[in-house]
Amino acid sequence: MEKVAATQSYLFNTGAQYQSQQYLGCHWESATQVSFRAWAPHAQLVQVIGSFNDWQPIPLMLLPKTGIWVGAVASVQVGDLYKFQVTDAAGHVQAKIDPFARQFEKKPGDAGVVPDPTPMQWHDSLWLARRKKSRSANRPINIYEVHLGSWRRHSDGRYYTYKELSETLIPYVKKLGYTHIELMPVMEHLLDASWGYQQLGYFAPTSRFGTPLDFLKLVDQCHQANIGVIVDWVPGHFIRNYDALYQYDGTPTFEYQDPDRDNNRRWGAWNFDLGKAQVQSFLISSALFWLTDCHLDGLRVDAVSNMLYLDYDEGRAGQRNQFGDNRNLEGIAFLKRLNTLIFEQHPDVLMIAEESSAYPQVTASVDQGGLGFNYKWNMGWMHDTLAFFQLDPWQRRDHFELLTFAFVYLYDEQFILPFSHDEVVHGKKSLMHKMPGDRYNQFANLRTMLTYMLAFPGKVLNFMGSEWGQFLEWRDWSQLEWVDLKDPLNHGMQQFTQTLNQVYRENRPLWELDHDPAGLIYTYTDDPASATMGFIRQAKRKYSFVVAAFNFMPIERRHYQIGVPYPGQYELLLNTEAQAFGGTWTKLETTFTAIEQPYHGQPASFEVTLPAMGALLIRPQRVEKRSR
């Protein structure tokens, strides 16, 4: 036992313990005895306190040269609460959380909960097997971003539980045709208004919605319904509370020692010391816990820019590394190591960077000098696209570069195109409310923008509520405005989203070559005079492609010519102005004949009526197969 403890402690202290939660924290040693282990290298004394003995301190023993305090307690039961009581070198006593706790009591308390040792019985082997066989770059990824606390609530304001969400959220997402759910942080946190980004428990699903086992069952049932699960994860900073990680043993323990680097003023948090070996063991163990033990399909790593630059946060201007620039060398090295280790164990998961700067090679492999993520949120595309669609249509001709600029850096990274929660809160207005014109035109613009998003190269993400055009911006303290769906326009918008998602999933050209220049054929992407745009999305198979045409003006374009690679018959996949979606077209053009008449660099073409403020998606039905 002593040899095992020495090995585990050595690995943790050298940054090489990637399952540290299985050693540190609270663990069952027998049916009646629990061991407690805490890392507090500069503490004078560490004791465990808990409800199992009326919160009377029980001293732990310091393992020599490890900084780890250990002890065993008998007569403990599942569900008992506990904390560590830490006496620092100056004699100050502070009750502290267990950083490795698997479960916490419900807020406002933050004591750890002695875990239930009952193992999870998984039923998602088929999903995991399929995931291993396919590369994410070549499969559809259409993400529904969800804040569990405000997707739905009971009439009295109570949260839906993990069990209730399994019964409601999963069928809803499956019906609408999304491929993945991305959950805003489910790691334990105290402040609702932080949305989970001020984390307390890095190994504990929040108790707001139920037990850890209930959370695992939610993931399991998502997988059984063929829905992937991604969770936001925050390795850059942690909650300010003094009874949490901050100065855990009375000195900077998880955070930087440098007072100019530990304080994250932008988010009101403390920054992890990403160069410290024990912090690396802690964070890498956390990431692997969610991917391995919880079967998650990916992590969206929050605030990556904060880990890349010394002066990214307010108040740190002028900080420089030994090379004289502002790169955070420890943060960069940590991210490379994190992604390398994760993909060694889980080559089929998604590691997504929420990175808002122009830092290069975020999604390049570590061997090629990159950070090693396989996806990055395309914040530039998001910002420019929203800016364009918020313009009065008659001004769009003068700002067409807002759309066309994204084609310049299209393949610099592997991108996800996000319309996330950040864009529909704090006075920014909902997606529908951002759109110009009266209510009818707002919906027409929104349908066109979402179609543009799914046709544009890259995987996609939309925040909850946008699928039916909720008018009110997101509020974390109440559920979505489900009553909107009684309105025909909102209901039609939801039907449109379901149809659009189905078109996306069933047509390989819209996702199979997202990150390959061969997957996009430029036809008329830069025509500001008419404020129209078109391009062709190509699949691996030569004759499998989708033609996308967009009209960003409230003027119907009759006899609108579209260039295509082959003459023959083409069929309509989607017209955003169909009456069923809330548009005005009662009769749709469903077939088109392309003749050998070159247009915009293509050897054949056909004419369509391009709807005002609308979009068309068209694919070949029977074409003359020939070499080009």
Q: Is the pLDDT of residue 320 over 80?
A: yes
Tens of pLDDT, residue by residue over 174-201, are 999 999 999 999 999 999 999 999 999 9
Domain assignment present for residue 542? The answer is: yes
DSSP 251: S
76 CB-side CA count, 13 A: 28
Higher pLDDT, 14 or 313: 14
Domain assignment present for residue 585? The answer is: yes
Could you list the residue range(s) of the whole structural domain that residue 47 is in? Answer: 2-113
List CB contacts of 176: < 8 A, sequence separation 6 or more: 144, 467, 494, 497, 498, 501
Q: Does 204 share its domain with 344?
A: yes
CA gap 50, 162 in Å, rounded: 27
Which residue in the list 249, 255, 302, 467 is annotated as catalytic? 302
**The dihedral of CA 308, 313, 316, 318: what is its sign?**
positive
Length of the chain in terms of residues written: 628
Residue with tokens 């020495």: 6
Tens of pLDDT, residue by residue over 479-536, are 999 999 999 999 999 999 999 999 999 999 999 999 999 999 998 877 788 899 999 9
Cα 508 off chain centre by: 23
Domain boundary among 332, 357, 377: 377
Phi, psi torsion values for 186, nearest 5 degrees: -105, 0
Tens of pLDDT, residue by residue over 587-620, are 999 999 999 999 999 999 999 999 999 999 999 9
Q: Does 62 share its domain with 174?
A: no
**What is the DSSP secondary-structure string of 81-149?**
EEEEEEE-TTS-EEEE--TT-S-BPSTT---EEPPP-PPP----HHHHHHHHHS-GGGS--EEEEE-HH
Q: Is the pLDDT of residue 628 over 60?
A: no
At residue 211, the pLDDT reads 97
At residue 627, the pLDDT reads 56
At residue 59, the pLDDT reads 98
CA-based max dimension of the chain: 87
CA gap 378, 375 in Å, rounded: 9
Q: Is the pLDDT of residue 626 over 70?
A: no
User: If you average pLDDT over residues 304-314, what whole number do you get?
Assistant: 85
Q: Does 106 share its domain with 186?
A: no
Domain assignment present for residue 283? The answer is: yes
**pTM score, two decimals?**
0.96
Domain assignment present for residue 437? The answer is: no
Q: Does 109 share its domain with 152?
A: no
Q: Does 102 share its domain with 147?
A: no
CA gap 18, 286 in Å, rounded: 8
Q: Does 80 share its domain with 228?
A: no
At residue 318, the pLDDT reads 72
Domain assignment present for residue 431? The answer is: no
Active site residue 302: yes
Q: Does 89 share its domain with 196?
A: no
Q: Does 298 share its domain with 152?
A: yes
Percent of the chain beyond pLDDT 70?
Answer: 98
Domain assignment present for residue 479? The answer is: no
CATH number of the domain that residue 9 is part of: 2.60.40.10
At residue 625, the pLDDT reads 76
Domains identified in the chain, total number:
3
CA gap 155, 132 in Å, rounded: 42
Q: Does 170 share its domain with 277?
A: yes
Domain assignment present for residue 478? The answer is: no
Percent of the chain beyond pLDDT 90?
Answer: 91
Domain assignment present for residue 281? The answer is: yes
For 234-369, strand residue ranges (E) read 237-238, 263-264, 269-271, 298-301, 350-353
Quote the mean pLDDT of the chain. 95
Banded model confidence at residue 134, pLDDT cuts 50, 70, 90:
confident
Q: Does 181 share its domain with 316?
A: yes
Q: Does 184 share its domain with 321?
A: yes
Q: Does 34 share its domain with 71?
A: yes
Q: Is the pLDDT of residue 459 over 90?
A: yes
Tens of pLDDT, residue by residue over 325-348, are 889 999 999 999 999 999 999 999
User: If you average pLDDT over residues 61-75, what whole number do you get?
Assistant: 95
Tens of pLDDT, residue by residue over 552-592, are 999 999 999 999 999 999 999 999 999 999 999 999 999 99
User: If you average pLDDT over residues 203-218, what whole number do you get?
Assistant: 98
At residue 524, the pLDDT reads 84
Banded model confidence at residue 315, pLDDT cuts 50, 70, 90:
low
At residue 253, the pLDDT reads 97
Domain boundary among 330, 362, 377: 377
CATH number of the domain that residue 342 is part of: 3.20.20.80
**What is the DSSP secondary-structure string of 395-418?**
GGGGGTHHHHGGGTTTTSS-EEEE
The H-or-E segment that residue 33 falls in is strand 33-39
Which residue in the list 232, 249, 354, 484 is annotated as catalytic? 354
Domain boundary among 328, 354, 377: 377
At residue 209, the pLDDT reads 98
Banded model confidence at residue 162, pLDDT cuts 50, 70, 90:
very high
CATH number of the domain that residue 547 is part of: 2.60.40.1180
DSSP 197: -
Q: Is the pLDDT of residue 317 over 90?
A: no
